[in-house]
Amino acid sequence: MLASSTVTSSTVTPVALAPRPFLKWAGGKRRLLTQYEDYFPQRIDRYYEPFLGGGAVFFHLYPRLTTATIADANPELINVYDCLKNQVDQVIAQLDQHRQHHSEDHYYQVRNQSKTSLTPAQRAARLIYLNRTCYNGLYRENAQGRFNVPMGRYKRPMICNAELLRAVARSLNQVEVRLASFQDSSASAQPGDFVYFDPPYHPLSATSNFTAYSRYPFGAEQQIALRDVFADLAKRGVQVMLSNSDCQFIRQLYADFELHTITACRSINSKAQRRGKITEVLVTANLPSRPQQTT
Ligand SMILES: C[S@@+](CC[C@H](N)C(=O)[O-])C[C@H]1O[C@@H](n2cnc3c(N)ncnc32)[C@H](O)[C@@H]1O
């Protein structure tokens, strides 16, 4: 799917670039997709992803989907997907301006801009620009809702990949993009549909609580509310899958469901020695219970 052209004897036929994540997002699932693949359903009537983030699973499944609802509670993030869907040329034009002016001064000037003074397309380009150039690609807002990550040290950051953004825009054609909490965005799922939940992970210890993707915290209460939504969907025959950290609290919450152990590499941690292999859990209901055999 990554090929950009097909060469025949006399012509070069362009092949559309496959859409893929265009933001660096904490908790991105790209590296886990091969382990998830065995549990994905054979048939998906409608796909729901209530904790979208960078959308690694959505883009991975995209070739198999006919229709989908993707959602997140982060308004800046959802504005980006909305604008790519509806006004991709304006976003690209704005982002190209950032590419041309990129410097330390420009970064901090853009970081300090008030979001309310910008058009939706300018806000979308601002988030993509900051995301591509900030330290570690980490989306973090302070209590006032201001993006507060310092500039990263990249020699030549890819700020404006217009071809990829157009591919993403095309992939969103038949897709409903929602600013919503997980309760609302998955409520209408039916048997035959597939819902994948990738919430902020429950902390493994009191000091490892990386749950602040935005100003909205996701504590034990929200984990319990999410389990209730999961259980309700499962009871109604919806195909459901959920990722979370491998800890006793999560294993107990989902004790009534199939739990699979996944091996992951911790990638966002400022201390290099803390980057290593850890396990995570994948919870499933109404899905293949063990890895499917290929014949
Ligand atoms: C682990 S990230 C998702 C990562 C994504 N799967 C990827 O591959 O990039 C969790 C996401 O949940 C969103 N979120 C936090 N609280 C939420 C809520 N109550 N309802 C919906 N989304 C929420 C955050 O904004 C964040 O984008």
What confidence tens digit (pLDDT) does each residue in 2-58 have?
Answer: 333 444 455 666 678 999 999 998 888 999 999 999 999 999 999 999 999 999 999
pLDDT at position 163 is 97
Closest CA to 45 of 194, 185, 174: 194
Whether residues 137 and 228 fall in one domain: no
CA distance linking residue 24 with residue 269, whole number of Å: 14
State the residue range of the domain holding 94. Answer: 85-166
156 and 121 in one domain? yes
Cβ of residue 242 lying under 6 Å from some atom of ligand 1: no
| C-alpha to C-alpha distances, 276 to 32, 35, 54, 137, 177, nearest whole angstrom | 14, 17, 22, 19, 34
DSSP conformational letter for 40: S
State the burial class of residue 1 (Cβ atoms within 10 Å of its Cβ: 0-12, 13-18, 19+): exposed
Q: Looking at this protein, which amino acid is placed at residue 278?
A: I
| 95-106 pLDDT, tens digit each | 999 999 999 999
The answer as to whether 139 is a domain residue is: yes
Instruction: Give the chain's mean pLDDT.
Output: 89
Q: Which residue has the tokens 């020695």?
A: 273
Ligand 1 lined by 182 (C-beta under 6 Å): yes
Same domain, 140 and 236: no
CB 124 within 8 A of CB 84: yes
Q: What is the pLDDT of residues 236-293, one digit of tens each?
A: 999 999 999 999 999 999 999 999 999 988 655 555 555 678 999 999 999 987 655 5
* Pair (191, 62) in one structural domain: yes
Q: Are residues 141 and 45 in the same domain?
A: no
Q: Is the CB of 138 under 6 A from ligand 1?
A: no
Find out whether the beta carbon of 147 lies less than 6 Å from any atom of ligand 1.
no
**What's the gap in Å between 93 CA and the centre of ligand 1?**
28
The enclosing domain of 105 has a CATH number of: 1.10.1020.10
pLDDT band at 1 (very low <50, low <70, confident <90, very high): very low
**Which of these three, 120, 135, 166, is where a domain ends?**
166
Q: What is the pLDDT of residue 16?
A: 82
Confidence label for 213 from pLDDT (cuts 50, 70 and 90): very low
Among residues 118, 142, 166, the one where a domain terminates is 166
